């Protein structure tokens, strides 16, 4: 089992910083850096990658917060509306962030007449690694505790119980997905392939692992993320399908 490592804040030169926010920031910088390098390799506009990263960061932050407020804790925020816009308050949804990021991406790509599928493939190349780092922050603050387990990667909580910890699992999956990308990159892939692979993996993983969560709000037995995961998988398969048809 994994020991309960816990950190919500830390101090540097007298400044108190958020552990979760630090890892998310590092993850975003890493993902952007990898996408920037990938753009150079593919002959794409690297400045556009940086511009997109800026707008995606803002839109993802807003989308993650809005999605959480409206779908995970609506009753609480009806009573405490000012907390909804307080960035110090916990509660950011990954899929809400992806939705916000997608909106910002398509607005920018349309305005600048970019070959959107090429740029989407390039940006998504760094996303698994960024998520892998960012989710370490989720693991250290333990904001996604799961059900009881005897699994070898279960985390022993202070009360003596051993639980699934979704932050840990999603961090590991992020790094494994990044490794899979490197493995699959040995061959030339058609436009949309990388986006499709990421959507399928993310959709399947989130749909399955959300059953292990114990704190998330549910609608008819499923979390809001699970409802979004289904169309993500379908869209992802559609993007991958040209290579599947080719093999067939």
| pLDDT tens, position by position, 149-180 | 999 999 999 999 999 999 999 999 999 999 99
Cα of first residue to Cα of last residue in the chain, in angstroms, is 43
In whole angstroms, what is the distance from residue 160 CA to residue 151 CA?
Answer: 15
Give the list of residues 6+ apart from residue 42 with CB closer than 8 angstroms, or none: 118, 122
Percent with pLDDT over 90 in the chain = 72
Percent of the chain with pLDDT over 70: 96
For position 247, what pLDDT does the model report?
A: 46
CA 223-93-5 angle, 5° bins: 100
DSSP single-letter state for residue 18? E
Q: What does the pLDDT average to over 140-147?
A: 92
Q: What gap in Å lies between CA 197 and CA 55, rounded to an integer?
A: 24
- pLDDT given for residue 240 in this prediction: 93
What is the residue extent of each domain of the chain? 9-247
- DSSP string of 133-188? HHHHHHHHHT-SEEEE---TT-EE-TTS-EEEEHHHHHHHHHHHHHHHHHHHTTS-
What pLDDT sits at residue 22? Answer: 94
How much is the pTM?
0.90
Q: Does the pLDDT at position 244 exceed 60?
A: no
In whole angstroms, what separates CA 42 from the centre of its chain? Answer: 24
Residue of 79 and 44 predicted with greater confidence = 44
Tell me: pLDDT of 90 over 70: no
At residue 246 the predicted structure's pLDDT band, cuts being 50, 70 and 90, is low
* Helix or strand run (H / E) with residue 11: strand 9-12
* Count of CA atoms in the C-beta half-sphere (13 A) of 201: 21
Mean pLDDT of the chain: 91
Instruction: Name the region of 160 (left: φ>0; alpha: ψ -120 to 50; beta: rest).
Output: left
């Amino acid at each position: 089992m994994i020991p309960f490592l816990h950190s919500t804040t830390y101090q540097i030169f007298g400044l108190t910083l958020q552990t979760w926010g630090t890892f998310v920031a590092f993850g975003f910088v890493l993902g952007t850096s990898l996408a920037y390098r990938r753009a150079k390799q593919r002959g794409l506009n690297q400045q556009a990658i940086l511009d997109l990263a800026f707008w995606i960061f803002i839109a993802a932050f807003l989308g993650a917060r809005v999605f959480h407020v409206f779908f995970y804790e609506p009753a609480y925020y009806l009573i405490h509306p000012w907390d909804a816009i307080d960035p110090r308050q916990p509660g950011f949804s990954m899929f809400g962030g992806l939705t916000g990021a997608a909106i910002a991406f398509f607005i920018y790509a349309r305005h600048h007449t970019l070959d959107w599928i090429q740029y989407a493939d390039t940006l998504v190349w760094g996303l698994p690694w960024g998520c892998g780092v960012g989710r370490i922050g989720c693991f250290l603050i333990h904001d996604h505790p799961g059900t009881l387990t005897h699994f070898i990667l279960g985390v022993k909580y202070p009360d003596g119980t051993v639980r699934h910890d979704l932050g840990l699992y999603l961090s590991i999956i992020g790094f494994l997905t990044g490794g899979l990308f490197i493995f699959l990159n040995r061959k030339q892939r058609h436009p949309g392939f990388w986006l499709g692979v990421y959507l399928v993996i993310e959709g399947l993983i989130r749909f399955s692992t959300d059953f292990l969560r114990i704190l998330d709000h549910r609608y008819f037995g499923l979390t809001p993320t699970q409802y979004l995961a289904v169309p993500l998988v379908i869209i992802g398969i559609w993007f991958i399908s040209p290579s599947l048809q080719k093999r067939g």
